[in-house]
Structure 1
Amino acid sequence: DKLPSIRKIATLYNLSKTTVESAYSQLYAEGYVESRAKSGYYVSELFFDNYKKTKKPIPKTVTSKQNYLYDFFPAQLHKEDFPLKLWKRLYNKVVNSDVEFGAYPNGQGELELREQIATYLQNSRGSVKNRILSSRMDLLTPWNSWQN
């Protein structure tokens, strides 16, 4: 599907062309759109195909008139309902453990983080996981340039 031109969107929504160009550039960088010379921007076929495959039917919503005993609105949590003793005990356990806060033992970043990013990119853009888990992930952290 062809997207509207930069000028058309800028005029329609009263935006600067630079803002629209930046938005399209970001969508292009993330693989959501393709740029075709002298033709404009189009929704990426890869993204569109993945969307069609993963799209799940929206379940019918059932409205209920039932009142519940619990209010999960976070601003209304009563002090006596919060497990403060447990929270303090677990907090102290973590703080006093041998965890290196903010440190990257691997120069390429945490393996689990790189795996999750690779899975996300594989699902959203069809990127190849092996490329993502290789040294190309040096872009993840600014500390890598200091370690070289």
Structure 2
Amino acid sequence: MKISIGNDHAGPAYKKAIVQFLEQQGHAVTNYGTDDLNSVDYPDFGHPVALDVEEHRADFGILICGSGNGIAMTANKHQGVRCALCWTKEIAALSRQHNNANVISIPARFTSIEQAVEMVKTFLETSFEGGRHADRVAKIGC
């Protein structure tokens, strides 16, 4: 799979661990995130990831910021992007099963790195259930 990842200053360590996991699994990763702790603006990293997903250059996107909210809001401005803010692997699974999420947003200040990697693993391994959920997902776009 092709995966795009982006993060602000709250997420370099998370990104490093997630990228390492993804590459061990054989995924191709495009990295748009910052690698240091100097303050940056999360939209500068959220838009490129969302654009990759929107334009089908990536199968999935992964975003990381302090609360996960701002970067998720940024990504969700893109048509065809369904970015889910997740803080447990169960929510990550449901975001795929019921919402066909194609981008996961991780709140670095509220999860551990181990939890984040587990959420990404679950997110990528979980399929959309379709059925009644497909009709609902079709109503999301404007």
TM-score by length of 2: 0.20
Higher helix share: 1
TM-score by length of 1: 0.19
Higher strand share: 2
Query: Greater CA radius of gyration, 1 or 2?
Result: 1
Greater relative contact order: 1 or 2 (C-alpha under 8 angstroms, separation 6 or more)? 2
